[in-house]
Amino acid sequence: MKALSLSKPLQAALLLTAALTAIALLKPDALDTPAAPPSQVHASQDRTSTSPGSGAPWMRPAGEEWRPSDAEQRRAAEAAVAAAAPVVPLAPPIPPPKPTAPDPGLTYLGRIDQDGRSYVFLGKGADPQVVEIGSLVDPQWRVEKASATQIELRYLPLNEIRMIPVTAAQ
């Protein structure tokens, strides 16, 4: 049985990674020297320095805070804005439709005036009803008016008017 082995390029990459990790872990901490005023910083940059930190850019004097450059801050802000999902305002909720009166299911059958009172004959399915104008057909409908062309019914729960056309009897 053949043993598993790593290719030469993969072995080299792993060795290089291990070496760079060891170097990164061996970096010394920041120096315990006080921070110099800005005027002295510019002067010390002009002369060659033999301080231990001159060849190590990762070392900072103690008390000096790390701060990203303005360009890095700008790039980070632009990336955050680009990564943020666009804010889409929510559409206002659609109000439910206003309730309307149902179809009364009544048909005009005729009209009669007797003793100063007016009555209409309405058909509800197979049952004819005689209703005085101004009285209730059922608990939800009341006959309001009767004219030569239409009967006006009021749907009491919504106080809504519905018309029934008056058709000539054949």
Range from 7-11, 37-41, 87-91, 165-169 that averages highest in pLDDT: 7-11
Q: Which residues pair with 70 in a beta bridge?
A: none
Topology at the third CATH level for domain 107-165: SH3 type barrels. (2.30.30)
60 touches 35 (CB < 8 A): no
The reported pTM is 0.45
Reported for 131-140, long-range contacts at CB under 8 A and 24+ positions apart, including other chains, are: 137/104, 137/106
Please give the pLDDT value at position 119. Answer: 93
> pLDDT tens-digit profile of 5-17?
888 888 888 888 9
Upper half-sphere CA count for residue 84 (Cβ side, 13 Å) = 9
Q: Look at the alpha carbons of 97, 101, 107, 109 in this order and tell me if their dihedral is positive or negative.
A: negative
Q: What is the pLDDT of residue 65?
A: 75
Q: How far apart are CA 105 and CA 91, in angstroms?
A: 39
Q: Which residue has the tokens 């009364």?
A: 104
Question: Is pLDDT of 41 > 80?
Answer: no
- Confidence class for position 49, pLDDT limits 50, 70, 90: very low
The phi, psi pair for 11, rounded to 5°, reads -65, -40
Mean pLDDT to the nearest integer, 140-146:
93
Three-state SS at 104: coil
Find out whether 137 and 146 touch, Cβ atoms under 8 Å: no
% residues pLDDT > 90 (the chain) = 25
Residues of the chain with CATH 2.30.30: 107-165
Residue 141 β-bridge partners: 138, 155
Query: Please, which pLDDT band fits residue 56 given cuts at 50, 70 and 90?
Result: low
pLDDT band at 67 (very low <50, low <70, confident <90, very high): confident
For position 46, what pLDDT does the model report?
47
- Is 110:164 a contact under the CB 8 Å cutoff? no
In whole angstroms, give the CA distance from residue 47 to residue 169: 118
